[in-house]
Structures are given as C-alpha cells and as structure tokens.
Amino acid sequence: MKTSTRAVLAIGIAAVVLVAAVLWLGRADGSGRTVVSLRIWDESFVSRYRTSLTEFKRSNPDVEVRITVVPWSSYQQKLRLDVAGGTADDLFWTNLYEDYADAGRLIDIGAALGAEAANSWDPSAIAQYTRHGTLWAVPQFVDGGTAVYYNRDLLAAAHIDPAELSALRWSPGDDDTFRSLLRRLATVAPWAYNAGHDFQSIELPYLGSAGARFQDQRDHFVFDSPQGVAAFDYLLRLIADRLTPAPADTNTNPDFAKNAFLQGKLALLQSGTFNLAQIAQQAPFGWGVAPLPQGPSGRVSTNNAIGVAGNAATRHPDAVRRVLAWLGSGAGNRYLARDGATIPAVVSEQGAYRDYWAGKGVDVSPFFDVLRGPRIPSGGGPGFPAALRAIDPIFAEMYLGRIPVREGLSRARAAAEAAVAQN
C-alpha cells in the first residue's frame, strides 16, 4: 500500500472514530448540538414537554432534549437497573428518589441552580424532595389532595342530594354515615365506591383520617397500629358487603375503578386531580367533585409531587443544568398545565389551573381545601421502593380476604422492614 493511501485511510479511520465518539457523547447529528435525554412514564406529557422545550431551544439552540417514555408498570424497576448500570437518562421523572440521593447518583439542585431557584416552587414539593438539607429534584407538578368524584345521575336515581356528600363520616362505631349512603347507591349501580388497594387515593387518606400513619418520623413502618387496623378493617368490610369492585379486578388493574366510573357503573370514585382531565373528556354523564368523607381524625390527605432529577453521571452537566433551570421556571413549567392537565409546581402558574376548570364549570376546591388540614406523608427513606414491593402481594391477599386484617398488616410491616434491611 502506498504511503499516501495509508495516510488517507488513517485520516478516514480517525474521522470515523471521532464521529463515533461524538455520537457516544451525545452530539447526535454532527451539528454541534448536545443531546440530553429525559425519561418520563406518562405518554400524555410528551406533547406538553415538546412544546415547552421548543421554546427553550429558542435561547438554547445548541441543546436538544429527547424524551423517552417508559410505562409506569415497569418504570421504577427499569430505572433502578439503569442507574445501577450507568445507562440511565440524563434527566428522569422521580417520586421515589432517596436511594439514588444517598448513593450519590443525583445532581444537587441547590448547587446546580442556586438556592433561590426553590423560592418559586410549591412548598410541599420542596419538602418532598429535600433530604438531609439538600434538594434532589426540580418539582414539575403536584397532585393536590384527594377528593371524591360523583355521578350526578346515579345520585339522583338514589334520591341523594350532592350536598349530602360534604357531611359524610366514616367510623368503626355507630356514628358512621358513609356506609348507609353507599348502600343506597348500591341499589342503583353495580358498585357504590372504590375501596381497594390504592396507596395514594384510598389507603393513605383512611390511615390519616383514622389517626394512623404509614411511617413515623424515623421512617419506621407503623401502619399496623390499632388505628391502622381500624382503617383497613373498615375498607375490607365495604368490600365484603359488595359495595365496591372485587379485589380480583382492582388488584390486577389499577385503572379498573376509574374505568368503571367512566362507564357509569361506579357512583363514587375517590381519587386525585391526575384523573380530572380524563373524566372531563370522557364521562358521558353529569359529574362533580365532593370532599373526602371525614374519619375519626377528620379529613386527611397526602399531596404527592413529581419531580425531574438530574443524573449525576451525565456527560453533559452544563446542558442538563440549563434544561433543569428551564423546566423549573414559570415559562417552562406552565406548559405542563395546558388544558388543565395538572397543577404546576411553580406557584405563580397554579392560578391558571383553577381558572381553567372554573371556566369549564368544575369546582376543584375540594382538592385544595383538604390540604388546609392535617396531611399524611406518602412515605420515603432508604429502601422505600423495595418495601412497597414487599408489601404489595401481602396487601393483595388481605384484600382478597385470604389473610385477616390484623395479621396481614403485621406480616406486611415485617416484610417491609426486612426489605429495607436487605436493600
């Protein structure tokens, strides 16, 4: 081979290697743009993020953000494996972040964006994503509190005024008024209510309103307290009375109750704002929103938030920092609330959410009023995802009636503690 030929070949190989290196480092199209990946679990947010990021690109033409959707059913497990294997996206949605933070896998948001960045975000979201004094995610949206959607036609058929729903009380004692109303609704619908294995919308509110907690302040599991037993016993008696869909359906399909409500088969759906837009679009009947039933300790809800975490192993820290700053700004965050889809985490944008639904004739105040009272934390700490996985099959068996409530809660607590210890 001639020397000149070898030289040209060497240059060509070097160019190929350089291009491959650039692609590997995230510069995908040879234009000099840095590609940042964002992982989420809800397909409906893709268009909203794309609209927001198109605006971001006007002042950041050198950064391209690509969105990956991993379904919720496999999201947590896949993320855990990818973070451990070093293949996680540059940015990703999270609501269970503690293990990643403790392992040094996340970007310190205060260090990246400055302490003042948090001043514009919902305080409950800041509290949720702060651990040991450090903020580990940029809040994107909050769920608000839990409330009860009702089917106006079914209430009318049972001769129930919607105003009655605001005074309902559940209780293990003789002062219970909720069960009798559900029995009236059961005469006009296949199911009256959605008591079942739903951590955020059912189990946490019942625990809180019974005066119980899921965890104490030291992250120990305490849901098997006497008050916790009373809460779950009440739910299981509603199931035994066939006032709710069968656990055989709801244990395996978390959307079963919501779909039953949309089909006009369920009179009352206890849930959050994350279902509001779908109900507004798809319910073929008149509906409204009422407060939670009161328990022995009043009305108690949790207020979950979703945040975007930055991968500490990213190869593009400056681009990731800029994207995080945009997604946490009012200008970038407002797109997530388009068409009343969700409550923005930027406080200045939350009024637009209320205004949108007020314009549609929907009173969303029950989702917010409940948060003026006591709240029950949704749980966390090292090993919390593993604990939830350990609890889930035991709770499922308990709801099916195969394990007594007291025994089921005790076994679930022991399994959760063991999972944390092994994490």
Question: In the chain, which residues have pLDDT < 70?
Answer: 1-31
pLDDT > 70 fraction of the chain, expressed in percent and rounded: 93
User: Are 92 and 138 within 8 A, CB to CB?
Assistant: no
Gap between the Cα atoms of 140 and 150, Å rounded = 28
DSSP 328: T
Helix (H, G, I), strand (E, B) or coil at 172: coil
Phi and psi, residue 189, nearest 5°: -145, 155
Confidence (pLDDT) at 31:
60
Structure tokens that stand for 346 in this block: 């930027």
Bridge partners, 311 (sequence order):
106
Write down how long the chain is: 423
Gap between the Cα atoms of 328 and 259, Å rounded = 33
Confidence (pLDDT) at 423:
75
Q: How far is CA 363 from CA 58, 144, 271, 294, 338, in A?
A: 37, 14, 15, 20, 18
Gap between the Cα atoms of 385 and 84, Å rounded = 15
DSSP 149: E
Confidence (pLDDT) at 7:
44
Q: How far is CA 82 from CA 89, 104, 144, 194, 311, in A?
A: 8, 15, 30, 35, 11
Instruction: State which amino acid sits at residue 333.
Output: N
Residue that the structure tokens 């070949």 belong to: 9
Confidence (pLDDT) at 22:
39
Query: Which of 217, 187, 193 is CA-nearest to residue 206?
Result: 193
Please write the tens of the pLDDT for every residue from 238-283.
999 999 999 999 999 999 999 999 999 999 999 999 999 999 999 9
Gap between the Cα atoms of 27 and 19, Å rounded = 9
Instruction: State which amino acid sits at residue 220.
Output: H
Chain centroid, CA 242 distance in Å: 28
Phi and psi, residue 192, nearest 5°: -90, -35
**Pairing of β 34-40 and β 63-69:** parallel
Opening angle at CA 414, ends 410 and 420, nearest 5: 145
Gap between the Cα atoms of 333 and 318, Å rounded = 20
> Starting at the edge strand that comes first in sequence, how are the strands of the sheet with 287-290 ordered?
268-271, 147-151, 287-290
Query: Which of 144, 405, 145, 126 is CA-nearest to residue 298?
Result: 145
Confidence (pLDDT) at 337:
84
What is the three-state SS of 226-285? Answer: HHHHHHHHHHHHHHHCCCCCCHHHHCCCCCHHHHHHHCCCECEEEECHHHHHHHHHHCCC
Opening angle at CA 216, ends 214 and 219, nearest 5: 90
Gap between the Cα atoms of 38 and 171, Å rounded = 45
> Starting at the edge strand that comes first in sequence, how are the strands of the sheet with 34-40 ordered?
63-69, 34-40, 91-94, 305-310, 138-142, 343-344
pTM: 0.85
Gap between the Cα atoms of 177 and 183, Å rounded = 10
